[in-house]
Structure 1
Amino acid sequence: MTWDVALILGIDGLANGAVYLLAGLGLVLIFSVTRVVFVPFGDVAAFSALSLAAFEQGRRPATISLVLTLAALAVIAEVVSLVRRGEAARIPRAILGWGLLPALPCALAWAVAGHEVPHALFIVTAILLVVPITPLVARLALQPIADASVLVLLIASLALHFLLSGLGLLFFGPEGSRTAPLAEGGLTLPGGFNVSGQVLLMLAAAVVLSGLFFLAFERTAIGKALRATAVNRVGARLVGIRPARTALLAYTFSSLLAGLIGVLVAPVTTMYYDSGFLIGLKAFVAAIIGGLVSYPLTALGAIAVGIVESFGSFWSGALKDVIVFSLLIPVLMLRSAMTRHPEEEVEEIDQ
């Protein structure tokens, strides 16, 4: 391997790492607030990419039908829950929140599909269209078991992935799509190396969004409420913070991140209904490196995953995923060695 090849692979790894960074932030946000390892994160990103591709082809995206179906089911579930608790007066509010609000981006998508509008409007609409998916899915499947163990929540989240993957096949079909580049031109580095505008956009998006997340958590009341819930759910409830509401915010923000990831990766790879699974899985590796709690370590883990994947594809394209997932072994061994286990504490007390 020459230095030229290493530089090209390094740039490609940074671009992949930027995507995994954003996905890892979403996964850590959801887990820290709700204790849910949200496996279907990548599926939402794939739906965003397929929605943008449908807009560019002059078709109405099937995401509209998917969101409206989930919204109708969420409204029914919420109404039934309110009636059982004797809170029928809150039904209009439930219909507004779980039915009408998710329908707004669907109405926007229906209006712009098939018309000559600025491409930026297609991008924004594709992102907004998938934002309701994660909160709606969480309301239907995860909120009723919010107090269950982490293992039960993980099993439910895995089942949700297979459900969304099947719905993706049903609504979108098996065909893949790729969208037009979001940025033209590029940057020429010393030595004659060209970095495409799309790669620069992915890197810039990761840096800017990471900075915005930091500012939001440090400077805003919503960010502080999310942090408080992540640190101590009981303590947050005692000071007036509702974990159910912060969980809804976490799902919404993560869904927004997934939508952004979808439109960023759609121009550089052909996206299918199930293409998001590997994106989410590799982001999960980055999140594990961060212990599912540390955003800076997750960012470093994402960059490491991207670079390892890039160089691994050079050495063996068939084994690149195996090489990436093998990173989990030393990380888990190191964390196990550094973590005090309850059995060890009991033994110390007995002695």
Structure 2
Amino acid sequence: MNTTILLFLLQDGITNGAIYALLGLGLVLVFAVTRIILIPQGEFITYGALTYATLCAGKMPGTARLAVVMGIVAFAFDLFAARRAPQARKIIRSLLVNVALPVAILGLTAFVAGHSGNLIVNFLLSLVIVAPIGLYLYRVAYQPIAHASVLVLLIASVGVHLAMQGLGLVFFGAEGMRAPAISELAFGLGPMRITGQNLAVYGIALALIVALWLFFGYTLYGKALRATAVNRLGARLVGIRTTLSGQAAFLLASVIGAVSGALIVPMTTIYYDSGFLIGLKGFVAAIIGGLGSYPVTAAAAIVVGIVEAMSSFYASDYKEVIVFTLIIPVLFVRSLSAPAVEEEKD
């Protein structure tokens, strides 16, 4: 290996690591607030990527219809929960959020699809389409069992992952898709070639990381989410709505996943099941970060990306094995140093 190849591998590793950092932060956020290991995070990547690619192809993405169906189911859940003590204000709010919002997004998507060649518009619309799916997913699949054990929540996540992966096959088919880059900018930096897509990945990843840091550190709602992460029961006792916190966590996770997918799809072909493997690498970073530390998770994600890039050069057939092996020594050390604790009872 010479210096030029090393620089190319480092560039590739940092680019992938920036994506894994976003995914790892989303996983840490959801687990900290809800105790849910969000295996379907990979499906948000797939949905965001393929929705963006479909819009760029001038077609109507099936995820817009999925959001409407899931919203109606979530509204039905709210009606059933309010059957004994119905409150008009809550029902109207649920109707607006769960039915009116996805229907409006569906109408906007139908208007834009095939009429807009603007990549930024398609990028933003793909986020708007996918984001509510996370909100409805929490209401339908997780909120009814929010107080169950971590193991039950993990089993539910596996089931949701399989269901969403199957829906991805239905909506997008088995053929892979790619999308045009957000920017055609390209310039040389020594032996390396920097593209606009690389800069978009770095810039958007950094902006989201800083935005999350500011949100959790300096806003009242962010501090409420942090309080829910520290002690769910204590948060409820001081008036924080933990249900709303879970919905916000899933909404942020779906946005992060959709952004990651839309950034990846111009650089590689994405299939209906591609997001699972990408999400697992973000999970490796989250595990190294202890499912609780945002800075360590971001740093670990960069390491994961670089290790993957180096492995693809030296042992391409085993690069996935090498990446996933990174968590074994981490788990071993944590098992020796972490004290035994009982799971919090709500």
Contact 1:128 1:259 in 2 (8 A): no
- Counterpart-to-counterpart distance in 2, 1:129 and 1:339: 41
- Counterpart-to-counterpart distance in 1, 2:180 and 2:71: 30
Residues 210 and 342 of structure 1: CA distance in aligned 2, closer, same or farther (over 3 Å): closer
Partner of residue 349, structure 1: none
Give matches, 1:106-117, under 5 Å: 106-117=106-117
Give matches, 1:3-152, under 5 Å: 3-83=3-83, 85-87=84-86, 89=88, 90-152=90-152
Contact 2:185 2:196 in 1 (8 A): yes
Report the secondary structure of 1:319's partner residue.
helix
Report the secondary structure of 1:194's partner residue.
strand
Give matches, 1:211-226, under 5 Å: 211-226=210-225
Structure 1 alignment gaps of length 5 or more: 344-351
Contact 1:55 1:114 in 2 (8 A): yes
Residues 342 and 242 of structure 1: CA distance in aligned 2, closer, same or farther (over 3 Å): closer
Give matches, 1:124-203, under 5 Å: 124-190=124-190, 192-203=191-202
* Structure 1 position 116, deviation (Å): 3.3
TM-score normalised by length of structure 1:
0.94
Report the secondary structure of 2:61's partner residue.
coil
Residues 119 and 197 of structure 1: CA distance in aligned 2, closer, same or farther (over 3 Å): closer
* Structure 1 position 94, deviation (Å): 1.9
- Counterpart-to-counterpart distance in 2, 1:103 and 1:277: 28
- Counterpart-to-counterpart distance in 2, 1:282 and 1:43: 14
Q: Could you say what the CA RMSD is over the residues aligned between the two structures, in angstroms?
A: 1.4
* Structure 1 position 101, deviation (Å): 2.0
Partner of residue 325, structure 2: 326
Q: How many residues align?
A: 341
* Structure 1 position 188, deviation (Å): 2.3
Structure 2 alignment gaps of length 5 or more: none
Runs of 4+ in structure 1 over 6 Å off: none
TM-score normalised by length of structure 2:
0.95
Report the secondary structure of 1:131's partner residue.
helix
Contact 2:119 2:182 in 1 (8 A): no
* Structure 1 position 100, deviation (Å): 1.5
Counterpart residue type for residue 284 of structure 1: F
- Counterpart-to-counterpart distance in 2, 1:270 and 1:327: 26
- Counterpart-to-counterpart distance in 2, 1:284 and 1:46: 16
Q: String of CA shifts for 1:125-167, please: whole Å, max 9, x gaps.
A: 0111000111111111111100001111011001100000011
- After superposing the two structures, state which structure 1 stretch, 94-103 or 4-13, moved more: 94-103
Report the secondary structure of 2:82's partner residue.
helix
- Counterpart-to-counterpart distance in 1, 2:341 and 2:49: 45
Contact 2:23 2:257 in 1 (8 A): yes
- Counterpart-to-counterpart distance in 2, 1:322 and 1:150: 26
Contact 1:46 1:272 in 2 (8 A): yes
Counterpart residue type for residue 79 of structure 2: V
Q: String of CA shifts for 1:94-125, please: whole Å, max 9, x gaps.
A: 22222222333222211101113522111110
